[in-house]
Amino acid sequence: MPESQSIKIMDEINKTEGEGPVSNSQDQGKKKVDASWKQQVEKEKQGPKTQGEEFTPPEADFKFFITTLALQTSIALGHMANPATGKTEAEPAQAKFLIDTLGMLQEKTTLVRKRLPFWKIYFMSYG
């Protein structure tokens, strides 16, 4: 592609991005940086959110819930550091409770899957 044609194409691209025309081939080698992302990074570096900003929790999801319980179990077993304290401490009673909770959820969801065909037939016949 001839250099004059590539400059015209770059001019069009830059006009749509609001950066103005490219004047010569030296300007083409320079990187154009969007300043808005820099502002976002600086805001994140400033530390925890201020009181005016609200925490937005993630969408409720069963996989996320199970993953959260598994992560808490790893912390309670002493396999990971507690993010609140930064210390790795085993808490056997808490670990037992979480493991029992995960076991109960596994048992209950297995029962639901086994009984699901019955309920489908029931609701289809009386629906």
Task: For 52-120, give the DSSP string.
Answer: TSPP-PPPP-HHHHHHHHHHHHHHHTTSS--TTT------HHHHHHHHHHHHHHHHHHHHHHHHHHHHH
Q: How far is CA 125 from CA 1, 118, 120, 122, in A?
A: 70, 11, 9, 5
User: Rounded CA gap, 97 and 80, in Å?
Assistant: 17
Q: How far is CA 97 from CA 4, 29, 81, 91, 93, in A?
A: 71, 60, 19, 10, 6
pLDDT of residue 22: 46
The pLDDT tens digits of the residues spanning 89-99 come to 999 999 999 99
Q: How confident is the model at residue 70 (pLDDT cuts 50, 70, 90)?
A: very high
Per-residue pLDDT at 6 exceeds 60: no
pLDDT of residue 8: 57
E-assigned strands of the chain?
none
pTM: 0.49
| Structure token pair of residue 106 | 């596994």
